[in-house]
Amino acid sequence: MARSASLWAVRTLLIVFGWHQANAIPRVSFPLDSPGRSLTQFTSLEVGNTTTLLLSSDEDTLFVGARNAIVSLDISEPRAVVMKNKLDWSPTEKDLNDCAMKGKKKADCPNFVRVLQVLNSTHMYACGTFAFSPRCTYINSETFSLVLGPTGKPEEGRGRCPYDPYQKNTAITVDGELYTGTVADYRGNRPVISRHLSEGGHVDLKLDDTLGWLEDPTFISSSYVPSEEKVYFFFSEVGREYDFIDKLTVSRVAQVCTSDVGGQRTLQRRWTTFAKAQLLCQSQGELPYNVLEDMFTLQPLEGAPEEDTLFYGIFSSQWSVNSGRSAVCVFSLDDIKAVFAGNYKVLNRDTLRWSTRVQEKVANPGSNFLTDEENFLPSGQRVSMVSPDYRYSNIAVQRVRGAKGKNYTVLYLLTESGYLHKTVLLENGPHIIEEVQVFRQPQPVKNLLLSLSKGSLFVGSSEGVTEVPVANCSFYWSCAECVLARDPFCGWDPSLRICTDITSIQSNAAQDVEKGNVHEKCKPPAPNPRSSFPPLRPPTGELVPVSLNEVVRLQCPEASRLARRHWERPNSRLSPDLYLQQDDGSLRFLATPITLGHYLCLSVENGFQQVLAVYQVKQKSSSNGGGASGGVPTSQPVSAGPTTTQTTQGRQLPATSAWGPRRTEGKAGRGRQPPPPLAPTLSPRETAGVTPRQERNFTFWLNPVLQAEADAKPRDRPPTKGQAGGEDDGGEHQLQTTTACYLQELVVVSVLLVLSVSVLLTFGLYGMRQRCHSRTAPQGCSSRRDAERGGAGSNGNAAGGAASTPQERESLRASPRETKRNGQAQNGQAQNGGKTLCNGVTNGSNGHLPNTPI
């Protein structure tokens, strides 16, 4: 035991960061009440907390257990949910007072129906919390009325239904007998697996935590396998076999035989066939997802053996490193049978420790009821799906036959925030086809119920019951969109040219669930030989009138979260210095003569490029009456010209998400980073070029010649006449006029610049001359007579040295006028023609410094 536990601990504690599955992102999203996804909702002010769902045998009636009531809803008509009957089942005033005396909240004291099962062909069985004192009752299916039991009194529901409305439980009926997993006290401390309403030679049985059978479990689901005559319970509990970790949660599957009649002595009226095993849901290199949230039983295909039954479970983790994440693992019935047929651990009652004995092959509830398998790995030894961004709470599963007869597994995963994710499992990983919001407020108790005959999924929550059709093929209005959806329910009918249910298409259905290859499945129309050389100009799009020097913003709808959106201009490139593409896919730029013209927003998904929006930005003329900047533009149909256009009328595209698009230049695959933000010197006036285009989408099969024209760069080919400045007509004249105007302004600015530089140079030279004069004037230059007398030293000492006599000092203080009369020039130059340097040192006529012997 110690070695096995140690190996498990080493493997689980070695964390390798990084996901081995791609992040699952919903391709499209439909908010609540979105016209792109039709839902049918049932809400009533008289009925709340509609979380327990049950379908009738013909699936024309939906029974709902709610707060203080049980209702029947008519769902026989497509996309219609109508209440037929309502049964009031409320606690008395005394029951409510007793609930308050127990210290419970008033909002938790009503009767919340948590068990609703078909008992036989004439009756149903229901149990509710009933003010923290559970009660059960029979319901006549024909008259839809409450019926008292054999005792003539309401039956006690302890061990059949939880006390707390937020406590999870499970219940299933087999041959008129009720099998439940719940708690047996209002504190929730006594878990129990029981059988009630036993018939024939059976007796009611139970199993609790007195002998260590259950360790603080949370019951999730139960399933009956007729060939095995077994009921399987799925739950999470504390794994006592791992005594080196405090309160380690593990997920379990437990079995009991429906033919069990109990044992002897301490096992009287107790299960003797109870056994449990651990379910391990773990992605490679990560800690296990050890908390079971929900489990769904997928029955085998018609004609397939019962061993092909699969159990799909949602798992979360108690580890903080996996907080907020979910995983989906699938287990096969064949693997579960093999685990229970293996060895079992033995519990030492004295030390309460588990040990292994190889010879123990049969389960014994008294000592060995835990399988010796270290863990029970999922089918295929791998996790089916890991969601790092969403935490799922409920699951339903369906098999769908595709266009070529291949079966696909579709998961319906409900997030805690109220979104339903429709996901298909593929060989290269899961693909989330869409997400649909089904309720607004997060809530702990909700339920999913799948009706195959109706083709709908019913979601029960505290806000009401929502019917979600499993297919939404009419949302896709072109072959490309239908194929890119990769929905196994939908295919493109080439004869009717619609995306419809795959079962209604006789042959040649365009569908590619695995890859979504549009080029292979959707062939473009054959070009007309007469129009093989179309005029080289872009198609006309929505007209956006703007004023110069205004900021223009062009919106681009989001056709898919998996697509990369980018903008293009015919015969021009979008310089990052002029254009800014924002996270929502819109394009912003300053309206100038060179930015007027056509703009195309394109998306690339799975190598297929399609046009989402076409705009023609044009300067406002006087005939337009000016108007405020950013006025609502007029919409013009896209010119078919040489192209074949398919438009989607009356359709709302999904809301723009926070996922930032990546820009591509030219063809797909040449990625480019978004440009830097525009300089803050733009005009404060901002023009919202177009309102979000949520009612139209364009898919183009562009003519090769036109596509080559759109992909051409300015350096490859100069713009042709009529295309300068981005205009179709008049562009050349406007460019010439603008160029002439700019030339005059350039000449004027150049002349002013030359004059300014000349003035600056003049003042600079004058300043330098003044500084030279200021340095030379005080020093003066010594005359030859002074030099002969030896009164002045060389190197300017005559000016700076001290006079030896008062007369000499007086002569040095003589005025400039007197100095000039003595033969000294005012500017410091000697009259003998000697030249004076700027630092006051003079050069003699002989080229030597004064007072220097020759």
pLDDT of residue 251: 96
Alpha helices by DSSP H, 597-712: 704-711
What would the pLDDT profile of 284-302 be if each residue is shown by its tens digit?
778 899 999 999 999 999 8
Tokens 């473009």 locate to 524
- Using DSSP's 3-state secondary structure scheme, residue 642 falls into coil
Q: Give the pLDDT band (50/70/90) at residue 540.
A: low
Distance CA 330, CA 321 (A): 23
- Does residue 180 contact residue 169 with C-beta atoms inside 8 Å? yes
Q: Where are the beta strands (DSSP E) in 184-257?
A: 191-196, 205-207, 218-225, 230-238, 249-257
CATH code, 2-440: 2.130.10.10
Q: How far apart are CA 147 and CA 139, in angstroms?
A: 6
Please tell me the predicted confidence (pLDDT) of residue 850.
Answer: 38
Query: Residue 12's pLDDT is what?
Result: 34
pLDDT tens-digit map of 401-457: 999 889 999 999 999 999 999 999 999 899 999 999 999 998 889 999 999 999 999
Nearest to 604 by CA among 539, 650, 556: 556
pTM, entire model: 0.72
Which residues is 283 bridged to in the sheet?
none
59-82 residue pLDDT tens: 999 999 999 999 999 999 988 999
Q: Which helix (H) or strand (E) holds 772?
A: helix 731-776
Q: Which backbone phi and psi does 351 adopt, to 5 degrees? A: -100, -10
Pick from 369, 306, 377: which is nearest to 340 by CA? Answer: 369
Cβ neighbors of 19 (< 8 A, separation 6 or more) are 283, 386, 388
Of residues 468 and 699, which shows the higher confidence score?
Answer: 468
The residue-averaged pLDDT of 469-491 equals 96
DSSP 8-state symbol, 737: H
**Other beta carbons within 10 Å of 273:** 18
pLDDT for the residue numbered 635: 34
Instruction: Determine what percent of the chain falls in helix, strand and coil, rounding each to the nearest 5.
Output: 15, 30, 50
H/E segment holding residue 98 = helix 93-101
Is pLDDT at 33 greater than 80 in this prediction? yes
> Residues of the chain with pLDDT > 70: what percent?
70
Give 565's strand partners. Answer: 603
Q: Could you tell me whether strands 28-30 and 429-437 are parallel, antiparallel, or unpaired per DSSP bridges?
A: parallel
Residue 596 above 70 pLDDT?
yes
Measure the CA–CA gap between 448 and 418, rounded to whole angstroms: 12
Sign of the CA dihedral running 692, 698, 699, 701: negative
**In this predicted model, what pLDDT tens digit does every residue of 189-237 receive, in sequence order?**
899 999 999 988 899 999 988 878 999 999 999 999 999 999 999 999 9
pLDDT at 689 over 60: no
DSSP 785: H
DSSP state of 379: G
- Domain ranges, ordered by start, for the chain: 2-440, 473-521, 536-714
| Predicted pLDDT at 622 | 62
Q: Which CATH number fits domain 536-714: 2.60.120.10, 3.30.2130.10, 2.60.40.10, 2.60.40.680?
A: 2.60.40.10
Three-state DSSP state, 167: coil
For 119, 186, 217, 495, 526, the CA distances from 129, given in Å and listed in that order, are 20, 10, 19, 57, 68
Contact 374, 9 (CB under 8 A): no
pLDDT, residue 786, reads 43
The pLDDT, as a whole number, for residue 760 is 86
DSSP H or E segment with residue 519: helix 518-521
CATH superfamily, domain at 473-521: ligand-binding face of the semaphorins, domain 2 (3.30.1680.10)
CB atoms < 10 A from the CB of 172, how many? 18
Q: What is the rounded average pLDDT of the residues 633-638?
A: 35
In this predicted model, which residue has the larger pLDDT, 29 or 683? 29
pLDDT at 227: 92
Quick one: tokens of 67? 């707060």
Candidate ranges 269-273, 359-363, 639-643, 674-678; pick with highest mean pLDDT: 269-273
- 630 or 156: which carries more pLDDT confidence? 156
- In this prediction, residue 2 carries a pLDDT of 38
Contact 210, 191 (CB under 8 A): no
Q: What is the pLDDT of residues 137-184, one digit of tens each?
A: 999 999 999 998 777 788 999 999 999 999 999 999 999 999 999 999
